[in-house]
Amino acid sequence: MFTYIDPAVRQKLEEQGKLFQIDRDGHRVAAVNAGTRGSISILGPIPMPLKLCEQRVDVAWYACVRHTELSKIEEIADELRQQNGQAAFATLASSMAVNSVLLIGDPRHWENPLVRVHSSCMTGDVFGSERCECGPQVQSALNLIKHDEQGGMVIYMSGHEGRGIGLWAKAATYLLQDAGEDTYEANRSLGLPDDSRDFSDAASLLKYFVGDEPFRLLTNNPKKVSDLADMGLHEITRVKHVTGVSEKNRRYLDAKRAWGHDLSPEDIGSG
């Protein structure tokens, strides 16, 4: 039977502890029990040297995907193979939301690590768009964690483009914004929620990597803290994370501030 990862390779990785499963509460579970709702399959650590604006950061990368989603992809991939449909495989696999953990330091020594839960943003993170401040935020987070005594991690949420509406709809919201709507109004005009991001996978990964220790969270969004608290993570100290403010994104940041983000007029230079 075709599997996304060849069974022999899979077994070897499992024996090495580099492919494993955690449940919703962040506990390791045996592969045979991984079918339980919401469990996450994790591949890693994979050593990854990063170069960000002349700064070097060595991280351990973990690729994380919902077990149910992975199983579904494997099943369909098997069907496709039987129908000689390999060409469709890339499309199939690329739609799978694989989150990443970029870990710096040794979790065994963490008492209060520094964490950023970052929502993927193709335009900001990859293209360097100044319509938002996502690119500078993720780079600055890695830099701060690198220089932090405790270290910590960035959880990069791949399915969070445009606060959960996806890249296609986000492109449409940009056109609506250029016609005068703010970032939240534009979502509503498309009949989409203001914010449909789901942080439950981030919560499970935090429970696994940070455990019961308190941690500091780099964010200006109090809702992110309350969402994580609703999922059982209570010892969070929010650390303000203002960076990448420019003339080009001031209006966007103003809308975020009006929506509840902890940004003062001084922070965004409009005071």
Minimal distance, residue 139 CB to Zn ion, in Å: 13
φ/ψ (deg, to 5) at 237: -105, 120
Q: Residue 74 in 3-state DSSP? A: helix
Residue 166 CB contacts under 8 Å (≥ 6 apart), including other chains = none
| DSSP code at position 150 | S
42 binds Zn ion (CB under 5 A): no
Minimal distance, residue 254 CB to Zn ion, in Å: 15
φ/ψ (deg, to 5) at 69: -65, -45
Among residues 45, 157, 162, the alpha carbon closest in space to that of 104 is found at 45
Q: Which is nearer to Zn ion, 123 or 150 (CB)?
A: 123
Catalytic residue of the set 182, 195, 201, 227: 195
134 binds Zn ion (CB under 5 A): yes
Among 34, 114, 115, 121, binds Zn ion (CB under 5 A): 121
Asked whether 33 and 67 are in contact (CB, 8 A), the reply is no
Minimal distance, residue 52 CB to Zn ion, in Å: 16
- By CB under 5 A, how many residues form the interface with Zn ion? 4
Among 44, 105, 124, 136, binds Zn ion (CB under 5 A): 124
Query: DSSP string spanning 104-125?
Result: ES-GGG-SS-EEEEEE--IIII
Minimal distance, residue 265 CB to Zn ion, in Å: 21
Q: Which is nearer to Zn ion, 29 or 132 (CB)?
A: 132
Catalytic residue of the set 197, 201, 216, 227: 197
Asked whether 42 and 22 are in contact (CB, 8 A), the reply is yes
195 catalytic residue (yes or no): yes
For residues 236 and 239, give the distance between their C-alpha atoms in angstroms, rounded to a whole number. Answer: 9
Minimal distance, residue 189 CB to Zn ion, in Å: 19
132 binds Zn ion (CB under 5 A): yes
Take residue 219 and report the two structure tokens written for it.
């964010």
Active site residues: 195, 197
User: Which residues lie near Zn ion (CB under 5 A)?
Assistant: 121, 124, 132, 134
